[in-house]
């Protein structure tokens, strides 16, 4: 049961989100799903309806926030730091996908809602926030352009992997894992290439230095 009297609306949304996601398998991301989740949790249906008055995107956003919170609580940053970066991200992505096992229909419906033109902007922000949560938990502290490129790339990889997961009927979601591994390998190759090209200590061509050597050649 959920003690709604002691929860803020944001907390109530997150508390009800898993039940709404389960109800969405049959009811879709609708007011019926909210009502069923509220009844199951022992929450006043009017309060629950008010909490999700923004409709399907509010429900989906709450579900994503709940998965974010669950992920934060499931991993120890010190233990993750012992792993290669690729393995850190792989573990975090797979953990998130595991929270959706049995809810593939809800996930597919959520993706359809998020793909609607009127929801595209918010969907991008949600994807960015999830990628940011994963990178921070993985130990990324970049503040320069790397901050943006890492999150933009992971957002795309994660969204594509979620799409594969939703339709994956292979044993143990093996097709999803193989797809993810290929995409992560691409990220690592890109990061290595970027590091070689843009590393600050690399010897770079300098026009002023070149002209100076022409004028004052070494003996």
pLDDT in tens, 144-182: 888 898 999 999 999 999 999 999 999 999 999 999 999
Residue 107: per-residue pLDDT: 98
Q: Whole domain around residue 147: which residue ranges?
A: 56-198
CB 67 within 8 A of CB 98: no
In which residue are the tokens 């934060």 written?
72
Q: pTM for the whole thing?
A: 0.83
Residue 127: per-residue pLDDT: 95
Q: Is residue 214 part of a domain?
A: no
Q: Is residue 34 part of a domain?
A: yes
Q: Is residue 205 part of a domain?
A: no
Verify that 138 and 110 share a domain, yes or no: yes
State both tokens at 59: 């429900």
Instruction: With a cut of 70, list the residues of the chain below it in pLDDT.
Output: 1-5, 190-219
State both tokens at 129: 């926030």
Q: Is residue 49 part of a domain?
A: yes
């Amino acid at each position: 049961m959920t003690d709604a009297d002691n929860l803020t609306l944001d907390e109530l949304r997150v508390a009800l989100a898993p039940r709404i996601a389960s109800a969405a398998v049959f009811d879709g991301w609708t007011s019926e799903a909210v009502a069923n989740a509220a009844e199951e949790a022992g929450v006043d249906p009017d309060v629950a309806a008010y909490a999700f008055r923004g409709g399907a995107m509010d429900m989906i956003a709450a579900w994503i926030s709940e998965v974010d919170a669950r992920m934060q609580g499931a991993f120890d940053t010190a233990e993750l730091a012992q792993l290669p970066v690729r393995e850190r991200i792989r573990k975090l992505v797979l953990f998130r996908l595991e929270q959706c096992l049995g809810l593939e229909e809800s996930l597919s419906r959520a993706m359809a809602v998020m793909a609607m033109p009127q929801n595209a902007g918010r969907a991008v922000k949600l994807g960015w926030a999830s990628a940011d949560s994963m990178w921070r938990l993985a130990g990324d502290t970049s503040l320069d352009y790397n901050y943006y490129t890492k999150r933009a790339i992971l957002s795309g990889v994660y969204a594509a992997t979620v799409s594969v997961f939703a339709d994956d009927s292979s044993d143990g979601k093996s097709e999803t894992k193989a797809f993810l591994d290929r995409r992560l390998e691409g990220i690592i190759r890109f990061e290595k290439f970027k590091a070689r090209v843009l590393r600050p200590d690399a010897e770079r061509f300098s026009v002023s230095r070149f002209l100076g050597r022409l004028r004052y050649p070494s003996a």
